Structure 1
Amino acid sequence: MKRVDVAYVLLVDEHEENVLLVKNKGPGASYYTLPGGAVERGETLEEAAIREVKEETGLDVQLGGIFSVGEAFFEERGHHTIFFTFTGKIIGGEINISLPEEIEEVTWMNLQQAEPYIHISNEFEGAIDSKTTVPYMLRDAGRYRS
């Protein structure tokens, strides 16, 4: 199985009532997710999260801590996927779909309605309201040394 890392960003509006979601075009049907996507080779989780949000929504974001970490096995693709969800805040840009072949909608959705799309398992239901995070730390183990 190939390991795939995916970075998502949980963006909540200023009234803390709605979450920003993107509607992805799927092979069968469209589906909602948080903005985010696969980490590319040589990219940190933070870099991937910021880039993916910009590509999918047109928005510039600043990341907070880690909201959740999850994993799944996608047997049909041969992928073992680790999902890292950051909290974040919008610091610029405007909502714009630059990848219409992938994204059909960018929308704000009520926190409770959005929870199933954030893939929070039942035992953690309501976690979105707690605003609990853990720090994200990048350890420089010689990445920039030649």
Structure 2
Amino acid sequence: MKRVDVAYVLLYDDKNSRILMVKNKGKSSSSYYTLPGGAVENSETLEQAAIREVKEETGLEVSVNGINSVSEAFLEERGHHVIFFTFIGRITGGKQEILLPEEIEEITWMDAESAAQYLHLSAGQLEWSNEIPYILRRN
């Protein structure tokens, strides 16, 4: 199986208690919601991938701090072993808009309970207090 790293960003609106989600276009018109993010490209750090993917999918510029969670899945039909790294982020600029209409159907702010069901997490796992530091080591 091929290893694939995916970087997501959890963007939380404190004022309205909502999480930014994107609706991805799936094959055979089976769309699905996720946090903004995507695959890490060659020679790209997890942090760089997370920031790039959010910009590409939502038009928003973000900064990321720590990691909220790390999970994995075996996608047998694709032959992929996927490791998901979910960063905690803050919006720093940009304009919310769909920049990749061939990939993204919708950008929406959801309450944590609704978002958690799409992400296979509990609402408690989407809290800011669950922060693990992200450390990039360079030799």
Q: Tell me which interval the TM-score lies in, with the shorter structure as reference length.
A: over 0.9
1:93-104 to structure 2, matched below 5 A, reads 93-104=94-105
Answering whether residue 65 of structure 2 is matched by residue 67 of structure 1, we say: no
The structure whose Rg is larger is 1
Greater Cα offset, 55-64 or 8-17? 8-17
Separation of aligned partners in 2, 1:8 and 1:38: 9
- Of 125, 128, 138 in structure 2, the residue corresponding to residue 127 of structure 1 is 125
CA contact (8 A) 1:34 1:117 kept: no
* TM-score, normalisation: structure 1: 0.90
Aligned partner letter, 2:6: V
Corresponding residue for residue 53 of structure 2: 52
The number of residues matched between the two structures is 138
Deviation of residue 16 (structure 1)? 5.5
Whole-Å separation in 1 of the counterparts to 2:36 and 2:128 = 20
User: Match for residue 92 of structure 2?
Assistant: 91
1:113 to 2:111 alignment: no
CA shift digits 1:10-67 (9 cap, x unpaired) = 0001315100000000013111000000000000000000000000000000101000
Q: 1:125: how far off?
A: 5.0
Q: CA deviation at 1:128?
A: 1.7
1:103-129 alpha-carbon deviations (Å, 9 max, x no partner): 010000011111122232xxx552223
- C-alpha distance in structure 1 between counterparts of 2:10 and 2:107, whole Å: 13
Q: Aligned partners of 2:43 and 2:118: how far apart in 1?
A: 28
Specify the code of the residue in structure 2 equivalent to 1:135.
P
Q: Structure 1: 5+ residue runs without aligned partners?
A: 142-146
Deviates more, 1:60-69 or 1:129-138: 129-138
* Cα separation, 2, equivalents of 1:129 and 1:96: 25
Distance 2:44 2:128 in 1: 30
CA distance in 1, matches of 2:123, 2:34: 17
SS of the residue corresponding to residue 127 of structure 1 reads helix
The separation in 2 between residues aligned to 1:136 and 1:9, in whole angstroms, is: 13
Paired residue for 2:136, among 131, 135, 138? 138
What secondary structure sits across from 2:82 in the alignment? strand
Contact 2:113 2:123 in 1 (8 A): no
Shift of 1:130: 5.6
